[in-house]
Amino acid sequence: MVKQLAENLYTFPIRLPNSPLKWLNCYVVKGGPGERDLLVDSGFDKPVCRADLFAGMEELGLRPENTDVFFTHVHVDHTGNGMALARRGCRILMGRTDYAVLCDSPWSRQIWHMEMDGMPRSEVERLIQINKRSGIDVMYFPAETLDAGEELAYGGYRFRCLLLPGHTAGHMCLYDRERSVLLLGDMVLFDITPNITNSGMDGLDNLGMYLDSLDRLSAYPARLALPGHRNWGRVSLEERIEELKRHHALRLSEAEQIVERHPGISAYGTASRMKWQIKAGRWEEFPLSQKQFATGEANAHLIHLVRLGRLRRQEDEQGFITYWK
Ligand SMILES: [Zn+2]
Ligand SMILES: [Zn+2]
């Protein structure tokens, strides 16, 4: 199941059960004699993911005490096995901003904000129970932090850490210009659109940051542009960047039109009226986790529209947030 992509560069899939992402692409750079090896991203904190992770490491002859692990961003499908790897003796490296997020804001706490975005309290409470049971809370692990522009050298590669926020506040990609290799994490995916999400309360414009990051990414051409999930090769990175920009432009108009027709609507209400590519037909039938992602996506678009001056955001005395043309 391990595939070689270039000299000293390998990948293997880690299955992500019950996730529409299907699998994570784990990347490995083998160091030369006497050098350390690098592994990028790790899957959920689940037995299936760990089995795939450790089988891949074994096939490649990685010894934990000689392995550095880099996490592109804080999401649990990437960092889930941070503690398992650290316990076995790996050294963990991660961008400073997302590591700070991991250390001080558990996922459950963020879910409470959903109520201020219009999700009924009964659904918020059930969502927290579901997340607790499925163990997808972000778990703490020790790591050394990296800043933008720092270099990671392994197996003849010199990867620069590119800080490209939007998908998360501190998402990082690794880029080797000379070898024309770019490890994308979830910055650009080719088969699906990376989730860009906001809470109405966090005061950030994640979509705005993401669109800026897409523009900045154009300055890093790569023969091998390798995504954190699914396949690549259907279109070039440049073409995919353009597709993603068009996708968000359409979504922005869609959200704007919904608010125009329903003044004073919440992010949850907007999400319920947007079109989604999901098997469940009606909003009422969406699994709660998908309602959560959809509300977050709607918010990212609404907040960006507010930033652009195309919509108005209003917060009432109880903290409930609504949007107006
Ligand atoms: Zn992610
Ligand atoms: Zn991911």
DSSP reduced 3-state for 30: coil
Q: Are 116 and 316 in contact (CB under 8 A)?
A: no
Rounded to the nearest whole angstrom, what is the distance from the C-alpha of residue 185 to the centroid of ligand 1?
Answer: 7
Give the per-residue pLDDT at 134. Answer: 62
Rounded to the nearest whole angstrom, what is the distance from the C-alpha of residue 125 to the centroid of ligand 2?
Answer: 25
- Express each pLDDT in 145-157 by its tens digit: 999 999 999 999 9
Residue 130 binned pLDDT confidence (cut-offs 50, 70, 90): confident
Mean pLDDT calculated for residue range 53-71? 98
pTM value is 0.90
Rounded to the nearest whole angstrom, what is the distance from the C-alpha of residue 78 to the centroid of ligand 2?
Answer: 6
Domain that holds residue 201: 3-324
What CATH number has the domain bearing residue 246? 3.60.15.10
> How far is residue 150's CA from residue 160's CA, in Å, rounded to a whole number?
6
Number of domains in the chain: 1
| Residue ranges with CB less than 5 Å from ion ligand 1 | 75, 186
Find the ligand nearest to 23 CA.
2
Percent of the chain residues past pLDDT 70, beyond the cut: 94
| Residue ranges with CB less than 5 Å from ion ligand 2 | 77, 186, 228
> How far is residue 160's CA from residue 156's CA, in Å, rounded to a whole number?
13
Percent of the chain residues past pLDDT 90, beyond the cut: 77
- Using N-to-C axis directions, what is the helix angle for 237-261 and 206-217, rounded to 10°? 160
Rounded to the nearest whole angstrom, what is the distance from the C-alpha of residue 187 to the centroid of ligand 2?
Answer: 9
List C-alpha distances in Å: 304 to 96, 166, 169.
25, 12, 15
Rounded to the nearest whole angstrom, what is the distance from the C-alpha of residue 167 to the centroid of ligand 1?
Answer: 6
